[in-house]
Amino acid sequence: MSLRSFLFKRAVYTIVLLFFVILLNWVIFEAMPGAAGNLYSVLGQNGKLGQANYDRQVALYGLNKDYWTRFVDYFKAMLTFQFGFSYKDNIWVTTDMIASGRLENTLELLGLSTVISILLGVLLGVIISRRRGSGLDNFWVGASLTTFSLPTFFMGILLIFIFAQLLGWFPAGSVYPVSWDRFGKPDLLTQIPTRLYYLFLPALTLTLFSYGGFLLLTRATMMETLSEDYILTARAKGLPERTILFRHAFKNASLPIITSSALAFGSILSGAIITESIFNWNGLGQWLYQAVLFKDFPVMQAMFYLIALSVIAANFVSDILYGIVDPRIRYD
């Protein structure tokens, strides 16, 4: 099967999978008890809100329509990324997501920490794979297992206590100074160092938690690859060790790393609920957590759909990268 045929087949499969994701997302929230009941409690009783305003709000959320009409409206909304109105804020979910800066903040935090975690974990994994049993190997394996096992809320609180409370080097939380909300944000060049200053501790927390998985995975796949005969042949030819590690061994050991990296990028939009809550980071994770507490079903429905969509796209990209990285793979 050619690459073009494979891409067409995968595109069709992705479209079918997307349809089932939309359908399942609808069924889950329709079957969940209290979906409409919570909206009624927010709007108040008829006597408090007034019958006319009450009916207007119910019509706004489409709760006065039959199930089929509501499903068609929902299906169109998912395809056009118009996710309806938030129960809590009573504005468009998409507007609430973008205008508030939540999407931007999560992409900054999760994007930066994910990139650093992959690069750091893969690089260290390649280096220590050729020194199995050495002190360097034992140190990094032990350190990665420790940070990978510790809960993020513990590491976050510990970093706040050390670097914010004791040393006073970094702020304990928030995305930017409170004064920016009062007096306006400065120009972009002035914002960048300040945003990085506030970003350091939450990004460090997520990096410490995530890099260990990539380090251990890279180390395991590299150690298996380094035992192959063609590696012995490459060393017998006198090739530099760096060339053997990165051009021969790592290329053939990279398929599991590609899968893990793709899924890591695919889960960026899910946010980091615990870390964002600890550092009061106004991101999608904290937004989703607040939506769960408030039973804001339009926000939850939109977030679950976007997370699923990101994972599907990540898997599609990883399948394509397999054939680019490893020419032995055939699209059959």
| Residue 46: C-alpha distances to residues 5, 55, 277 (Å) | 59, 9, 35
111, 233: one domain: yes
Residues of the chain above pLDDT 70, percent: 84
- Contact between residue 22 and residue 305 where contact means Cβ atoms under 8 Å apart: yes
82, 178: one domain: no
| pLDDT given for residue 116 in this prediction | 92
pLDDT in tens, 312-328: 888 888 777 776 666 66
| pLDDT given for residue 45 in this prediction | 46
56, 122: one domain: no
32, 126: one domain: no
272, 146: one domain: yes
CATH number at residue 266: 1.10.3720.10
83, 179: one domain: no
pLDDT in tens, 261-275: 888 888 887 767 888
| pLDDT given for residue 249 in this prediction | 78
| pLDDT given for residue 321 in this prediction | 76
Give domain status of residue 23, yes or no. Answer: yes
Give the C-alpha separation, 90 to 327, whole Å.
52
Instruction: Residue 46: give the domain boundaries.
Output: 3-93
Mean pLDDT of the chain: 80
